[in-house]
Amino acid sequence: MLDSKRMAIILAAGKGKRMKSKLYKVLHPVCGKPMVGHVLDAVQQVHCERSVVVVGHGAEAVQAYLGDRAEYALQSEQLGTGHAIQQAESLLGTEKGTTIIICGDTPLVTPETLENIIANHESQGAAVTILTASMTDPTGYGRIIRGADGSVQKIVEQKEGTPEELAVQEINTGTYCFDNSKLFQALSQITNDNAQQEYYLTDCITILREQGEMVAAYETFDLAESIGVNDRLALSEAEGFMRARLAKKHMLNGVTIIDPSATYIGADVVIGSDTVLYPGTVLNGATVIGEDCIIGPNTEIENSTIGNGSTVRQSILSGAEVGAEGNIGPFAYLRPGTKLSDQVKVGDFVELKNVTVGQGSKIPHLSYVGDAVVGSGVNIGCGAITANYDGLNKAVTEIGNNVFIGSNSNLIAPVRIGDGAYVVAGSTITEDVEANDMAIARQRQENKSGYAEKIRAKAKAIHDKKE
């Protein structure tokens, strides 16, 4: 049971000019997820009952991505961090409890750290608690000046500090916990009487301190959590930290990653124990890998599910489901809508799309199967395809259980092949094949004795005439 109501305000209104991008800054992904998504996940994992995202530039795009996971306040003019928080007053101004204020471009802040700062804040009865970090070179950051009792006396900006103050290595990360009532009471008193003519959230800290309120600080020992992404260099740095963090988590959970520096794992990927990831593996989106799998090398899997004990090598899967003990690749392409039952083999240069394949079936090589239902125990030979598109419409091919489809067969949809049927190699099937029938749909072979010599003589005569 939480001691008090928890809320969050996520600042996501800045344009992010230094990103030099058409994509709104907080929507730039880190390990496959937009930065603001990481931040919202973190605050919701610490049980914030209300999460308000302050939007401005790119507001519609941010709202389209986050949807109804958050409430929104619009900062139509960017007049400073204090002004941004003021836009949330109509939503949160009368609430009692603790409010986290965090920037939408700080994707590396963890729920554990947020939980710790809240606990520190509430145990001390502070009006505000600042999340801090220590840096060897804190140049450019606001310094935290503490009193003898450990409370924060003030935050000194780079251009205003004395040599002694600027020697302090503890910096303000820009993440705070506030008593919500005291936050909005202080916000009502801030002004824009400064060089930038902006309303600063940090002025609230000065106001609360002058009112005799406790201003506390909680230091994170993971410097990466202090990273705010303002340009592509910082984005790359955040990506590197996040990749290392995710790889460590999976390895500690029993996953073998042969070369973490050459393996990419998205933020929402789930991987079972005793699975092995080889170099060049890229796992993204809502991908779930089971236990005892072998993935890679050079394999890309997105929004897909891989069952226990399956192997996927040098292949691409997008929106696909692979059952247990499957064997995929090398060089297979499983497109959206592909659903494979257990023990299915899909070999080299096979493309599947919107197809269901039953248990134990094999599509070993050089085939295309799309818009089809394939039963169990089926063997589809080399070069066989389902012709599912007539230029205007898609049609379905149905293949029953224990069917044999010979090499270089064309199944012209819509068509149904019954259980146990046999399609002879090289056939073009345009009509249904009943159960246990054998279908032959090719012209009977005819050999013309000595005719090859006549063809060569005719070709030579044409060549000589041109000379």
Q: Annotated catalytic sites, by residue?
A: 365
Structure-token pair, residue 82:
């204090």
Kindly report whether the peptide bond that precedes residue 330 is cis, defined as omega within 30 degrees of 0: yes
Q: What residues form DSSP beta bridges with 394?
A: 389
Specify binding-site residues: 11-14, 25, 75, 80-81, 105, 142, 157, 172, 230, 335, 353, 368, 379, 388-389, 407, 425, 442
Specify binding-site residues for Mg(2+): 105, 230
Specify binding-site residues for acetyl-CoA: 388-389, 407, 425, 442
Alpha-carbon distance of 15 to 78, in angstroms, equals 9
The 3-state secondary structure of the chain reads CCCCCEEEEEEECCCCHHHCCCCCHHHCEECCEEHHHHHHHHHHHCCCCEEEEEEECEHHHHHHHHHHHCEEEECCCCCCHHHHHHCCHHHHCCCCCEEEEEECCCCCCCHHHHHHHHHHHHHHCCCEEEEEEECCCCCCCCEEEECCCCCEEEEECCCCCCHHHHCCCEEEEEEEEEEHHHHHHHHCCCCCCCCCCCCCCHHHHHHHHHCCCCEEEEECCCHHHHCCCCCHHHHHHHHHHHHHHHHHHHHHCCCEECCHHHCEECCCCEECCCCEECCCCEEECCCEECCCCEECCCCEEECCEECCCCEECCCEEECCEECCCCEECCCCEECCCCEECCCCEEEECCEEEEEEECCCCEEEECCEEEEEEECCCCEECCCCEEECECCCCECCEEECCCCEECCCCEEECCEEECCCCEECCCCEECCCECCCCEECCCCCCCCCCCHHHHHHHHHHHHHHHHC
> Given the structure tokens 């010979």, which residue do they identify?
406
Length of the chain: 467
Please say whether the dihedral angle defined by the alpha carbons of residues 52, 233, 201 and 130, taken in this order, is positive or negative: positive
* Sequence-ordered list of residues with C-beta below 8 angstroms from that of 134, at least 6 positions apart, any chain: 169, 170, 171, 219, 223
